[in-house]
Structure 1
Amino acid sequence: MKKWAFISDFDGTISKKDFYWIIIEKYYPEGEALFHQWKNGDMKDIEFLATIFGSINQTEKQTLKDIHEIPIDEHAIPFIRAVQEAGGDFYILSAGTDFYIQHILNEKELTNVQVFSNKGYFKENNVHMDIDPNEWHFSDRYGIDKSVVIQHIKESYDHVFYFGDSEPDSHPAKYADTMFAKDALIMILKEQGVPYIPVRDFKDVNRFLSEEGWLKDE
């Protein structure tokens, strides 16, 4: 067994803004109405995202430019490196798509970060998700079942941390040894009675892990 791992959501956690909002605001204003339908439970997550990602209608060059303009928590990248330097493994667990996540990791020159997410690819001026219902972590609603993934990861570690910001993260939160929550997830976990540590960003998470002796002193 390895000692520990840190798992993080991407959109709204590592990034300050969900990629779908960037698309809606720049190219698909009709998506705001769909957002409310989705939040009201009238659409599954993968249906909402597939519609938004399929409404970019831009060249791959422009889409990659938009991806690289996703605002990232300025403390996230140093934190990932600090985890790795301290002997922990870092994972990204996202119900979005690995298409933009991998481009961000490559741009930031981050290595040895395993990504569990819906497979994505660029074709005909849009981003598409390749969701396989036979995949071991398939979810009919999210595309990827975060609860199944975190339980799989936990089999290899003594302690697993998780950090998220929204409803999809409430499911793996129940399996984390230590749970960090921000934004809407705080109230969700509070209502569910799931233990969590409220934080604002990776700076707060870094402080906690440093004080608890998980990270090396700067």
Structure 2
Amino acid sequence: MKKWAFVSDFDGTISKKDFYHLVMEKYFHEGEALYTKWKAGEMKDIDFLSTVFSSIHQDETQIIEDIHSLEIDEHVTAFIRKVQAQGGDFYILSAGTDYYIHHILQKYGITDVKVFSNEGYYMEKNVHMKIDPDHPHYSERYGIDKSTVISELKEEYEMIYFAGDSEPDSHPAEVADVTFAMEALQGILEERGTPFIKVNDFYDIDRHLTEREVLK
């Protein structure tokens, strides 16, 4: 069994803005009504995201340019390399799509990071998601069941650290050994009584792991 791994959400955790927010701001203003329905629980996450991502109507070069415009945490690339250099593995676990995540990893030269996410692809000027109900990680609501992924990783590692920022991350937080919570996830976990460490960014996470002597 391997010693430890760090698993991170992408949108709003590694990236400073969710990709769907960028799409709505630039190309799909009508999405605000859908956003309200989704947040009210009247729409599944996967249906909301599928609608937004298929409302871009731009050539792929423009979409990639938009993806590259997403700001990421200033410390995350150094943190990933530090984890990998000191005996840990780094994973990304996202209920978005791997399409834009891989473009960001490539832009920043981040390697040896496995991405667990909904499969995404470009077709006819939009981004689409391939959701397979027979996939072992399938979730009817999110497309991918983050808790199942964490549970499987726990069979490989003695310790799983997890970082997230929003409601979909509340479920894997119940399974991970240690959860670092940002933004809205803090209040959600507090209400549920799920243990977590409050952080603002990857500098905070790095400091906590250094204090615990997980990192040097």
Q: What TM-score do you get using the length of structure 1 for normalisation?
A: 0.98
Deviation at 1:58, TM superposition (A): 0.4
Q: Secondary structure at the match of 2:186?
A: helix
Q: Secondary structure at the match of 1:158?
A: strand
Which residue in 2 is equivalent to 1:118?
118
Write the letter of the residue equivalent to 2:148: V
Which residue in 2 is equivalent to 1:93?
93
Which residue in 1 is equivalent to 2:128?
128
Q: Secondary structure at the match of 1:210?
A: helix
Which residue in 2 is equivalent to 1:188?
188
Q: Secondary structure at the match of 1:195?
A: coil
Which residue in 1 is equivalent to 2:67?
67
Alpha-carbon distance in 2 for matches of 1:153, 1:111: 19
| Runs of at least 4 residues off by over 2 Å | none
Write the letter of the residue equivalent to 2:112: N
Deviation at 1:76, TM superposition (A): 0.9
Write the letter of the residue equivalent to 1:118: N
Which residue in 1 is equivalent to 2:42?
42
Within a 5 Å distance, the mapping from 1:1-218 to structure 2 comes to: 1-216=1-216
Alpha-carbon distance in 1 for matches of 2:58, 2:172: 34
Alpha-carbon distance in 2 for matches of 1:91, 1:154: 13
Deviation at 1:33, TM superposition (A): 1.3
Q: Secondary structure at the match of 1:129?
A: strand
Q: Secondary structure at the match of 2:35?
A: helix
- RMSD across aligned positions (CA): 0.5
Deviation at 1:151, TM superposition (A): 0.2
Deviation at 1:106, TM superposition (A): 1.1
Deviation at 1:9, TM superposition (A): 0.1
Q: Secondary structure at the match of 1:37?
A: helix
Q: Deviation per CA, 1:25-47, whole angstroms, max 9, x where unpaired?
A: 00110111111110001110000
Which stretches in structure 2 are left out of the alignment for 5+ residues? none
Q: Deviation per CA, 1:163-197, whole angstroms, max 9, x where unpaired?
A: 00000000000111111001100000000000000
Deviation at 1:215, TM superposition (A): 1.2
Tell me the number of residue pairs that the alignment of Structure 1 and Structure 2 aligns: 216
Deviation at 1:64, TM superposition (A): 0.2
